[in-house]
Chains A and B, each alone.
Chain A
Amino acid sequence: MPEIQTGAGGVPRLVIEGATKRFGAVRALEDGSVTLYPGEAHALLGENGAGKSTLVKILGGVYRPDGGSLLIDGNPVAFNGPAAAREAGISIIYQEPSLFPDLTVAENLFMGRQPLGRARRIDRAAMQQAAAEIFAQLGVELDPRRPARGLSVADQQLVEIAKALSLNAGVLVMDEPTAALTTVEADRLFEVIRTLRARDAAVLFISHRLEEVFANCQRVTVMRDGRFVTTAPIEEVTVDDVIRSMVGRELSALFPKTETAPGEVVLEVDGLGSEGEFEDVSFTVRAGEIVALAGLVGAGRSEVARAVFGVDRRSAGTVRLAGVELPNGDPLAAMAAGMALVPEDRRQQGLVMEMGVDQNTALASLARLRRRGLIRRADEAALAADWAGRLQVKYGRLRDPAATLSGGNQQKVVLGKWLARAPKLLIIDEPTRGIDVGTKAEVHRILDGLVAQGTAVLMISSELPEVLAMADRVIVLREGRVTAEFARAEADENSVMRAATGQLSGAAA
């Protein structure tokens, strides 16, 4: 490994070496290794599922590693919880903001370490003052006395950043802190990072925006499939090098895409709105094409999908399937008309975890299987066996509870459940979240095959590579509004991210 030019060098502030973490049969992390020196901003890169977030949670004391070592300032440490990590000087901004909606912004910043006055009572004035000072430092105007409820995702993220700053930690870990921020806010964050480095803090920075990484970090570590790949000084690598080590394989194998000629319009959404969630959303999906809804977390993508399917009521607009207008808030009518929805959270919404593979697969086809009002398990099993075969689901016995399957196979069961109805339109929310790389490619192949047969697919995905590789058209949402629509040829990482964060060139948000 090359020597460090940044900071004082010498003893690393933090070393994590060969960390492993398993959840049941799933290996989330097999070799998590990063070395941070005082005064450096260090980028940690990798695709979704590469193990970055697991590594972060180990550093934060949320997960206990199954193996590996962790050193702080040269001393081995083991955290028994988040409080221990915090005391050791590690401060973390997680990907998903975690605030207390009922408490004030100031209390959110200082929970558990509120400034105390006489008799150990909380000094609210001092707390609000301190919060206001941190916001001033960040250049953000946010009232410390308002409750956190109702803050936008970007504002929640700013509160998280303020919280981490207020800890004055020696190690600051940021898991995609800029994903929801505007350029101005992100630039301020980088300024803060420079200040922290000047104070000899080490910053571990996770981001999918490579230009940010190259502009602000001194070294970069790449992970792939739960393993450490390489660490290098930033000026010794190019963007292409980094992407190649992140992906580690031909992209075309992971994202099979057959060019198809789209047919007639299947889904027609016009002026769709839902109070407080989204408004004036209009788009179409044609037979034989995949349309992706892209946008940041909280942009309203899933909400739109739920309103289209009728799980949630819409307050404005119309939804037409094959020319027929669907009634409001009636998923059964949507299903009867030929719509299917694979939800984002398969554990909570997609499957009945205690029920068998057979019953789960048959669940959406019970009306068809019914004979004289009764359902026979043999019929369910026959249907399930058919689809499990077609989708190559790996399971023990058909009666095994869905909970015993791996994430990827669970997703295939959910897919099988809906494909058994031969839908005209498949809405699929986060098709490959939390499933392994191999199965991911299989799910993509299934989607590709469906489209080739003339099914219309509406896909929601937070994984930009998936959106860019699989979609024929990309519709970008931001804070509940459509900000852009791109044809396959026009969509790239830059254009979609700009539309998702509200920085469309020309069109002022």
Chain B
Amino acid sequence: MSVQTQAGPPVGGAQASRLMGLLRAREAGIALLIVLVVAITGLNNHAFLDAQSLQQLLTGAALIALLGVGETLVLVTRNVDLSVGSVVGLSAYVVGDLFKNEHIPVWSGFALGILLGAVVGALNGLIVTVLRVPSLVITLAMLYIIRGVDSMIVNGHTIDPSAIPSAFTAVGYRTILGVPWLAVIVAVVVAIAGYAMRSFRSSRELYAIGSNPDAAGLAGVPIGRRVFTAFVLSGALAGLAGTLFLALHAQVDNSGGSGYELTVISAVVVGGVAIFGGSGTVVGAALGALLLNTISQALVASRVSAFWNEAIAGALLLAAIGFDRWLSLRVTRSLTSARGAHRDV
């Protein structure tokens, strides 16, 4: 959770702000780790530091980071959205199909992709909040349902590059001042979401819901509406990610985005979002995605086999969770011992 820095804390504040520093350092720590991985790999393999290779680090992480933003919104409310990978595949194919057969304008491709994702998110959100089905179950079901619907629509066909307007695919490979467009788009989304998650009542209520649902109810937080909104936004971002997937790869079949959901959750957890809700930032989630992608590309550049790639991603996840547990025990202990100082009345 991000907290403002302020000078001159009152009694007991020094300790609290040191803790805040530790928590905030989570993001700085990940950023540092990314730089380290890039530097060490670059020493052994200079090609890893080429502009093109560095751009590849950003583009490769962009979609997962974008999905990570939506997943963070859902996770902080103590829910989970497993349907995002399937939504990517569906929205990529449907938008591609509309380009191919209906020749829709480029901007409407984005709009329709986002809309499609939002509809799926709304469905998830309704079932979770109205029917009170655990989100793990319903979004898992949705993962398969959408993949099935996708396969029916695709029906063995593929969208190939010739069917897609070049102005659209340009989004996938163009750069601005050396930075890929894709990365710019995602960075803008992360910045907006990061700002909003800190600054608005409704977004603070998402954290409240995940931190203590009963207390949130007593505080008059409209839990159903907030959780619903989180799912809609997660869906919409997945729809946008699907559209960008199409722009990036310029082709798609019925397997687009398969398995993304687990990569996203790994990235988000590595980025410091608590799996049981209540804390975490979208910036951390995006950095987590960048770290995972950087490590996997560094392994490739160092000619480590793909097998190790996955094992290392798993080890990293374990390390992140272990670190979280250790941190929260430490924080609780020092906060508990810090109490009572003022109670010596």
Interface residues, chain A, with chain B CB atoms under 8 Å away: 60, 62, 81-83, 86, 94, 98-104, 107, 111-114, 116, 120-122, 124-125, 128, 132, 140-143, 145-147, 149-152, 154-155, 182, 184-185, 276
State A102–B298 Cα separation when bound (angstroms). Answer: 35
Q: Does B177 sit within 8 A of A, measured CB to CB? A: no
State A140–B341 Cα separation when bound (angstroms). Answer: 11
Chain A to chain B contacts (Cβ below 8 Å), 24 pairs? A81-B220, A83-B220, A94-B218, A98-B214, A100-B208, A100-B211, A100-B212, A103-B211, A104-B3, A111-B216, A112-B220, A114-B201, A120-B200, A122-B199, A124-B4, A125-B6, A141-B10, A141-B11, A142-B12, A143-B11, A150-B335, A150-B338, A151-B339, A276-B336
Task: Find chain B residues with CB under 8 A from A100 CB.
Answer: 207-208, 211-212, 215-216, 278
Task: Find chain A residues with CB under 8 A from B10 CB.
Answer: 132, 141, 143
A141 and B212 within 8 A (CB) = no
The one of B20, B218, B332 in contact with A82, judged by C-beta atoms closer than 8 angstroms, is: B218
State A333–B75 Cα separation when bound (angstroms). Answer: 40
State A2–B3 Cα separation when bound (angstroms). Answer: 55
The 0/1 profile, CB within 8 Å of A marked 1, for residues 95-111 of chain B is 00000000000000000
State A140–B340 Cα separation when bound (angstroms). Answer: 11
Task: Find chain B residues with CB under 8 A from A122 CB.
Answer: 198-201, 204
State A122–B333 Cα separation when bound (angstroms). Answer: 30
A101 and B212 within 8 A (CB) = yes
Kindly report which residue of chain B lies nearest to residue A144, judged by CB atoms. Answer: B10
Task: Find chain A residues with CB under 8 A from B13 CB.
Answer: 143, 145-146
A141 and B332 within 8 A (CB) = no
Most-contacted residue by chain B among A99, A100, A107, A145 (CB, 10 A) = A100
Q: Does B296 sit within 8 A of A, measured CB to CB? A: no
The 0/1 profile, CB within 8 Å of A marked 1, for residues 206-237 of chain B is 01101110111111111000000000000000
Task: Find chain A residues with CB under 8 A from B222 CB.
Answer: 83
Kindly report which residue of chain A lies nearest to residue B221, judged by CB atoms. Answer: A112
Task: Find chain B residues with CB under 8 A from A149 CB.
Answer: 331-332, 335
Q: Does B9 sit within 8 A of A, measured CB to CB? A: yes
Give chain A nearest CB distance to B236 CB in angstroms: 21
For the A-B complex with A83-B222, A111-B208 known, give 7 more contacts whose Cβ atoms are closer than 8 Å: A83-B220, A100-B211, A100-B278, A103-B211, A112-B219, A143-B16, A152-B339
Task: Find chain B residues with CB under 8 A from A101 CB.
Answer: 211-212, 278
Q: Does B152 sit within 8 A of A, measured CB to CB? A: no
The 0/1 profile, CB within 8 Å of A marked 1, for residues 1-45 of chain B is 101101001111100110110000000000000000000000000
Task: Find chain B residues with CB under 8 A from A120 CB.
Answer: 200-201
Task: Find chain A residues with CB under 8 A from B9 CB.
Answer: 143, 145
Give chain B nearest CB distance to A154 CB in angstroms: 7
Most-contacted residue by chain A among B1, B216, B218, B342 (CB, 10 A) = B218
Q: Does B343 sit within 8 A of A, measured CB to CB? A: yes
B173-214 contacts to A, CB under 8 A, are 198-201, 204-205, 207-208, 210-212, 214
Task: Find chain B residues with CB under 8 A from A145 CB.
Answer: 3, 6, 9, 13, 16-17, 20
State A160–B235 Cα separation when bound (angstroms). Answer: 37
Kindly report which residue of chain B lies nearest to residue A92, judged by CB atoms. Answer: B218
Q: Does B345 sit within 8 A of A, measured CB to CB? A: yes
Task: Find chain B residues with CB under 8 A from A151 CB.
Answer: 335, 339
Give chain B nearest CB distance to A495 CB in angstroms: 22
Task: Find chain A residues with CB under 8 A from B200 CB.
Answer: 120-122
B315-345 contacts to A, CB under 8 A, are 331-336, 338-340, 342-343, 345
Kindly report which residue of chain A lies nearest to residue B209, judged by CB atoms. Answer: A100
A112 and B16 within 8 A (CB) = no
A102 and B12 within 8 A (CB) = no
Given contacts A149-B335, A276-B336, contact A102 B215 (CB under 8 A): no
Give chain A nearest CB distance to B141 CB in angstroms: 24
Task: Find chain A residues with CB under 8 A from B338 CB.
Answer: 146, 150
| 8 nearest CB pairs, A to B | A150-B335, A83-B220, A98-B215, A102-B278, A141-B342, A146-B16, A100-B211, A121-B199
Q: Does B124 sit within 8 A of A, measured CB to CB? A: no
State A185–B205 Cα separation when bound (angstroms). Answer: 30
A111 and B205 within 8 A (CB) = yes
Q: Does B279 sit within 8 A of A, measured CB to CB? A: yes
B211 and A112 within 8 A (CB) = no
B12 and A155 within 8 A (CB) = no
Task: Find chain B residues with CB under 8 A from A140 CB.
Answer: 342
State A146–B342 Cα separation when bound (angstroms). Answer: 14
A114 and B204 within 8 A (CB) = yes
Give chain A nearest CB distance to B272 CB in angstroms: 12
A103 and B12 within 8 A (CB) = no
Task: Find chain B residues with CB under 8 A from A146 CB.
Answer: 12-13, 16, 19, 335, 338
State A146–B1 Cα separation when bound (angstroms). Answer: 12
Kindly report which residue of chain A lies nearest to residue B336, judged by CB atoms. Answer: A150
Kindly report which residue of chain B lies nearest to residue A60, judged by CB atoms. Answer: B218
State A128–B16 Cα separation when bound (angstroms). Answer: 14
B199 and A102 within 8 A (CB) = no
State A146–B12 Cα separation when bound (angstroms). Answer: 9
Kindly report which residue of chain B lies nearest to residue A81, judged by CB atoms. Answer: B220
State A60–B221 Cα separation when bound (angstroms). Answer: 14
Kindly report which residue of chain B lies nearest to residue A105, judged by CB atoms. Answer: B16
Task: Find chain B residues with CB under 8 A from A152 CB.
Answer: 336, 339-340, 343
A62 and B218 within 8 A (CB) = yes
Kindly report which residue of chain B lies nearest to residue A57, judged by CB atoms. Answer: B218
Task: Find chain A residues with CB under 8 A from B3 CB.
Answer: 104, 145
State A149–B16 Cα separation when bound (angstroms). Answer: 11
Task: Find chain A residues with CB under 8 A from B199 CB.
Answer: 121-122
Give chain A nearest CB distance to B6 CB in angstroms: 7
Give chain B nearest CB distance to A116 CB in angstroms: 8
Kindly report which residue of chain B lies nearest to residue A140, judged by CB atoms. Answer: B342
